[in-house]
Amino acid sequence: MTRLKEWFSSGRSTGKHTMPFVVILLAITFLASAANLYLPEDSALYVSTYTITLLGKYLCYAMLALAVDIIWGYCGILSLGHGAFFALGGYAMGMYLMRQIGDRGVYGHPTLPDFMVFLDWQELPWFWLGMDQFWFAMIMAVLVPGLLAFVFGWLAFRSRVTGVYLSIMTQALTYALLLAFFRNEMGFGGNNGLTDFKEIVGFDLQADSTRVSLFMITAFLLAIVFVISQRILSSRFGKVVLAIRDAESRSRFIGYRTDRYKVWLFVYSAVIAGIAGALYVPQVGIINPGEFSPINSIEMVIWVAVGGRGTLIGAVIGAILVNYAKTRFTAILPDAWLFALGAMFVFVTLYLPKGLMGIYAQLMAKRKTAKPQKSEESQA
């Protein structure tokens, strides 16, 4: 605990982009929410409930991209398995929402979800017990991804598995979970997953006010996670993580237990992904094994690469822009989206290695160098 306090106390103030980002995020969230709740539908400034839900989904993806950037951009660990942590958090929320249906399901069973009644199950599995309590489900949404990340990270990092081998292992992890959750015997709805949710903590999920509330909560938590992450990564702990990324063998040689730093950063990243998954499910209305797909984890890496890894804000911007492009592109040419996504990744890798935030940094650098030149010319 003392060392943790030292890490935070020795850190610099939050980055120069942190407060503007938080203010802009919360301002847009407030304005969009007010436009949905208080403006008439025929108003030019009205924001539909569909758009509010779409924006909430984008913010969940932004939080997930933030988690990937923390571990990849700052520690150099390319994880292709963060979709697993995201899906586990989503399943925890989905289990809670399924328990809230009660006897309003198709089969009218007061305790068992419809898919269990269909499969002729007689009682709830032990891991469903307690999931009718919101607080317990939220603890599981954080604890399960964090515990899995701790066990995996402890085994992998203590064995000094790095590079492409670690990436393959993380991808294998999420694929194994994908196959497991597809099985009806697992008790998570099989291929269909969990859906047909009715309410959350007593509020109707289809009501506009509930949709807006979920959107605002997502934006608020994204801002909190962003500030905390910025603080951690600008502290002494963050400096050690950067040293591990740039020269792990040297960091180990001067006495740092690099595996411990990597494990705890991996756990922190997984917890953020789990929170994002828990926020995602009530807004989209479904969670199924498809969220474990390795393709989803690869897409997350592309979000971060487009925005600029190692910047945090770049991951958020990249996730929002790429998913907005996906929404528009799949409506026009749904079969061509994966080709467009691959082309985007190749383009960014070749011509924008530092992403959009790299372009922004170059423009700011040119602007700073141009100012002294102008002042010198005016004096002459």
**Tens-digit pLDDT profile for residues 21-34:** 899 999 999 999 99
Q: Is residue 168 one of the residues assigned to a domain?
A: yes
Q: How confident is the model at residue 357 (pLDDT cuts 50, 70, 90)?
A: confident
Indicate yes or no: pTM above 0.75.
yes
As a whole number, mean pLDDT of residues 234-257 equals: 91
User: Which residues does residue 40 pair with via DSSP β-bridges, in sequence order?
Assistant: none
Q: How confident is the model at residue 378 (pLDDT cuts 50, 70, 90)?
A: low
Residue found by looking up tokens 């194994």 in the block: 176
Q: How confident is the model at residue 7 (pLDDT cuts 50, 70, 90)?
A: very low
Q: Is residue 104 one of the residues assigned to a domain?
A: yes
Q: Is residue 177 one of the residues assigned to a domain?
A: yes
**Per-residue pLDDT at 14:** 43
Query: What gap in Å lies between CA 90 and CA 287, rounded to an integer?
Result: 6
**Per-residue pLDDT at 24:** 93
**Per-residue pLDDT at 145:** 96
**Per-residue pLDDT at 64:** 96
Q: Is residue 222 one of the residues assigned to a domain?
A: no
Name the percent of the chain lying above pLDDT 70.
93
**Per-residue pLDDT at 129:** 92
pLDDT of 8 over the 50 cut: no
Query: What gap in Å lies between CA 308 and CA 353, rounded to an integer?
Result: 8
pLDDT of 303 over the 80 cut: yes
Residues spanned by the domain of 138:
57-207+229-379
Mean of per-residue pLDDT scores for the chain: 89
Count of structural domains within the chain:
1
As a whole number, mean pLDDT of residues 348-371 equals: 81
Q: Is residue 19 one of the residues assigned to a domain?
A: no
Q: Is residue 234 one of the residues assigned to a domain?
A: yes
Q: Is residue 217 one of the residues assigned to a domain?
A: no
Q: Is residue 284 one of the residues assigned to a domain?
A: yes
Query: What gap in Å lies between CA 73 and CA 314, rounded to an integer?
Result: 10
